[in-house]
């Protein structure tokens, strides 16, 4: 099963989008599963409960920090990840993605999760 499919399975098993992405990478992260669940717990419905950044994107940023941080700033990497996610999904804002801010739904949660996982995998190769 692909990591993208694992993440979607986690989402459909009661995890929020951020937790689902984090858990899909649990095999390569140095944190235990409970810690990953706790880390992503506040990002359900996006940061700020539909009012800001998509939780799956937040989790992707966390994973890159956990795996790739080497003491140097990662702002350029974070900006690229954000831009790529926005290009793939239509926005990085959870409320906009779900169509809760006056526009149409741009990207379903399952697709946001898959895109976040795919972008994270690409950066870790």
Rounded to 5 degrees, φ, ψ at 93 are -90, 120
Over residues 69-112, the pLDDT tens digits come to 899 989 999 999 999 999 999 999 999 999 988 889 999 999 99
Q: Where are the domains of the chain?
A: 3-124
Task: Report d(CA 115, CA 85) in Å as an integer.
Answer: 7
Backbone dihedral angles phi then psi of residue 116, each to the nearest 5 degrees: -65, -40
Q: How confident is the model at residue 125 (pLDDT cuts 50, 70, 90)?
A: low
- The pair of structure tokens assigned to 34 is 């409970």
Tell me the three state secondary structure of residue 93.
Answer: strand
Q: What is the pTM of this model?
A: 0.94
Which contiguous run of DSSP H or E holds residue 99? Answer: none
Please state, in angstroms and rounded to a whole number, the distance separating the CA atoms of residues 1 and 30.
21
Asked if 62 and 108 touch (Cβ cutoff 8 Å), the reply is no
């Amino acid at each position: 099963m692909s990591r993208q499919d694992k993440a979607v399975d986690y989402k459909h098993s009661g995890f929020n989008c951020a937790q689902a992405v984090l858990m899909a990478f649990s095999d390569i992260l140095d944190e235990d599963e409970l810690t990953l669940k706790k880390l992503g717990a506040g990002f359900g419905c996006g940061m700020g409960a539909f009012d800001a950044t998509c939780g799956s994107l937040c989790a992707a940023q966390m994973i890159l920090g956990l795996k790739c941080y080497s003491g140097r700033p990662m702002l350029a990497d974070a900006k690229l990840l954000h831009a790529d996610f926005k290009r793939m999904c239509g926005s990085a804002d959870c409320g906009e993605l779900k169509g809760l801010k006056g526009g149409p739904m741009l990207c379903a949660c399952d697709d946001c999760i898959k895109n976040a996982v795919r972008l994270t995998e690409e950066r870790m190769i």
